[in-house]
Structure 1
Amino acid sequence: MPATYRRSKPSLPALAPAALLVASLFGGLPAWAATAPSAAVPSSPAASAPQEDEPTNSVMDAPLFYQLLVGEMELSTGQAGVAYQVLLDAARRTQDEELFKRVVNIALQARAGEQALGAAKAWANAIPTSLAAHQMVVQLLALLNRPSEVADPLRELLQLTPAEQRPMVLAVLPRTFQRATEPLKVYQALEPVLQSSAKDPQTHDMALVAQARLAQAAGDTATALKLARELAESSPQLEDTMQLALDLMPSQPEAEALVTARLKAQPTNNALRLAYGRALARAQRPEDAAREFRAVIEAAPDTVSAWFALGAMELDLRHAAAAETALTEYLKRLADVPATDTDNGLMIAEARQQAWLMLSQAAEMRGDVKAAEAWLQKIDRPDRKIETLYRRASLLARQDKLDQGRKLLQPQAGDSDADARAKMLAEAQLLREARLWQAAHDVLKRANERFSEDVDLLYEQSMMAEKLNNVDEMETLLKRVIALKPDYANAYNALGYSLADRGVRLEESRGLIAKALSYAPKEPFFIDSMGWVEFKLGNRTEALRLLREAYQARPDTEIAAHLGEVLWIAGEQDEARRVWQEGAKREPKNEALLETLNRLKAKL
């Protein structure tokens, strides 16, 4: 807040020349100042009803006119504090809502939150029935991170709001406070108001939704899930409950049961099924997500986005032909989507290019280099540059032209830091796919020298150190990642899995993997790691349970290798072969699978 904002109210300046007054009146004052504030209108009916053809005179008296003029002139010369004081005084005298709004906006534009709140409170006190004033007070208390003061203004706001509009007031509360630095205090402050609102049948649902959202933001996801269950029971048609359940799934896996129960009751609810599929995809459960997308397509084949989502999941599952089928159908149907406005046209163009990139990847997966390059030739968006270069480099590597591919991905003079970082990561990935661990490690080491304390780069280098059997370096790097970003779940999992795979410090390994699972309870690779450490600890039954769960959620070839080994040791060799065969079908050259088969002397 500028120092001028704290100046005391000045004495009125000398009268300006008439020409300046006219210019200021019609050029500087806002439109609202040309008419009289409502409180200044005389109460006489005769005065408020001019006769036909009689000129209408302004009812703004000279002192008010002059006060408004001074306030606007001060504002135009950068004296926001003086303008605030002058116009707030005028607003209080006239009790005009538009003038109060003007004063609040002046303070907000000057980044003076306390003064904006003061003006809003003055507005609410001057006009106690003003809905806009009480809304502004609640919004500014949220903006200023003062939740302890919100309860009473919120109650007043709800009382003033027409009954049919109160659910909407409650619905927007979580979004109003989404930037709060202490969400627990917000939840504690608003909970009594929301519990009271939940007793009213008209506001019951939205009060519980708001309470659940605020509890979730405060980290109390157990309470949020309890409220979601209550809503599902009392209001089985409420869509907000399902969105809440979907958002709770990563932290409260039991929330998924609410969604599946609703889908069982409403099997044709394709919007919910599509949202559920996307939540499963975010949880890295591609097999389950693909199942839901297929169901949407079967029921409503015109759902264009479902074709794209299915193509992405099939690609993730390495089902190249199925991915191509879905993505080709997506492009066919996308051509029928109208692009009548610029924004929609841009979105469609971007979606089309993403599909082309994915089709190139699918063709490469099938070994059809010519088709893969043909799809890449279509892509011309600058924001797809690095992805396109990587795919071209990968195609060159498939043709024994790895050095040429690497050159495409090496940073050039003039590259931005973001592009240089992305290129170095891409080159390391290219070398990783070629199993050139040392070369990939060297690229990542150079990247970390250039971009220090980048947790993603450090993590990738640690993985290459592990491939080179440099365990000490791997542990050092992973611990550095955890120190820099304590919620980096992959680092805990990688360190824990490495210990388990080597059969050392197994209790420490279990603790690290449990920490990773606390951040992502349904992550299949983390569950696989926990299954593997239980196997190493001799807990075969628990290991099998976990590995089956991981494989069902994500039939990855490395998970198949682990599950197959535990089944083999348990004497279930036919099932072990079936699982390994499924893995080999997806990735016949998978290193983990081949090592397992060779060590166990097992034949498929």
Structure 2
Amino acid sequence: MKKSLSGILLGLFLTGCASLPPPQPVADAEILDTPMDPVIYRTGEFNRESLFELLSAEMAGQLGQYEKSLDIYLRQTRLSRDPVIAERATRIAQFLRNHDATIHAAILWSEISPENLEPSYIASTLLLQGQQFEEALPLLERILRDPDADVAQLISSQSENFTPEMALRYLGLLDQISESQPHRADLTIARSMLYRQIGDDGMAIRLLDEGLKLSPQDPQLVLFKSEIYRLQGRFEEGFVLVSMALSEHPEDRRLQIQYAQMLLLNGELESADSAITELIKTYPDDRQLQLYLALLLLDNEQYDSSRELLEELLQSPRPDSRVHYYLGQIAELQEDPEQAIQHYLRIPPGESYLQSRAQVLMLLDSPDRYLRIKNLMTEEIRRHTEYQIDLSSLYAEWLQRNGYPEEAIEHLTLTLNQHPDEIRLLYARAMLLDTVDPEQMLQDLYHAYELDPNNPTLQNALGYTLTVHTDQYDTAYELITAALAQRPDDSAILDSMGWVLFKMGELEDALLYLERAYDMFPDPEVVGHMVQVLWSLERHDEARALLNNNLNEYPDNHHLLEAAEYIGDPL
């Protein structure tokens, strides 16, 4: 009888090679003359190739060669169809955060062990996160039939991204399962979510009411129904609903929080303050709850109460750096920009770091703050070299916005000397060089495009620049066409297509693209292009009317002034 692959592997991994018997000497001729049986894979069985490959995979893992280890485990999963190997492959892929490999390994694992729901959970969660709803559906069908599964949690995170057609397909499956398991609150909530997604709030609430008849005052159902009421502005009805459920489940923290929120929405500020104070007393060590309550107060414009809670959180041993960000927001809302800046500058590198520095630059968005900004950003870039690219981009934007374009170009050039292949910097400098040095602008865009030839932003920028500064219209047309194929509703790319067609003499087609761009985003640049095309089509009255209407609003816009010069209108 052949021992199973999983059994042998388990023994190897637990005992190591020391448990193997010592090798017996074999003559070279004997090795050469011994015919080797062909390697045959049978589900769950072990062979010499599996042993060699899996030992190689484990050694690769020990040496930090995790990708190699993963490749071997995936291959052996497909060949051996063994659940232990499949699980190991899935865990390695998860460790590497390899999205596609994790899905592939988990699906193999679920096929090998259909009674085990864990791999289906893993794969379906990732597929839902990637909005691969069609692929997730068969895996979810298996999970949904498990009465212990939390369907609402699986579907809720992505339900807003479902198309109406896909939502109806999921509803069909959920409705079918609900017929045999009508008491499952998670199925009711998931179905209600999907009905909301297709715009049927009435049916969503009816489903919740049916669930509440079977399970009166069920906290999950009450919370979801009250959330729909909140979104509909039916605050008083939501408050009554939550109050009744809370009387039945006074210890339910979710209901307590929702109760406090409903009090705020109903304008019962003193009662809300008391409810929040009671929650903090009940859960004094729950910092995440305190942060949530502070943000709840912030969202409801209770700035002083929110600030008090946030300042208390700063006294904890290891305060969350986001606290300073929210305190900065409150200071901004209360028109204390200097206090806001001090909070933002206390945020260390991490999740909110770049956003906080961007906020500082916006608060100091004035040419007379030049020296302060220069000293601040120079020091930030020196201290936090890991953010040099992002900080340099923010700084250059500030300089350009506040009338220092030459210094912005100089700063980007110095940074590009250290990072010559950084696309964001190349693109940013190119945009600043438009009227200063078109030749260098084209060089930057060509370099960026070579680094990322499928990037629609770069395709469009290079194509448009070729249209404006050269007569390479065929090349420009190809680039803009490629960009438009990826972003067919992008107004900037539509404008570029209209402009290159105008340069190529395709006036009617040019106008169609420019009109689409204008309908989406009536920018003065698009208007300037439309005026010239209309004039070339001898629609002079329309061209003049469009130009004059926009010059009244943007009298100094150079695109409109160029159009006026083109049609020969005196200004």
What TM-score do the two structures reach when normalised by structure 1? 0.47
Structure with the bigger RCO (C-alpha within 8 Å, sep 6+) is: 1
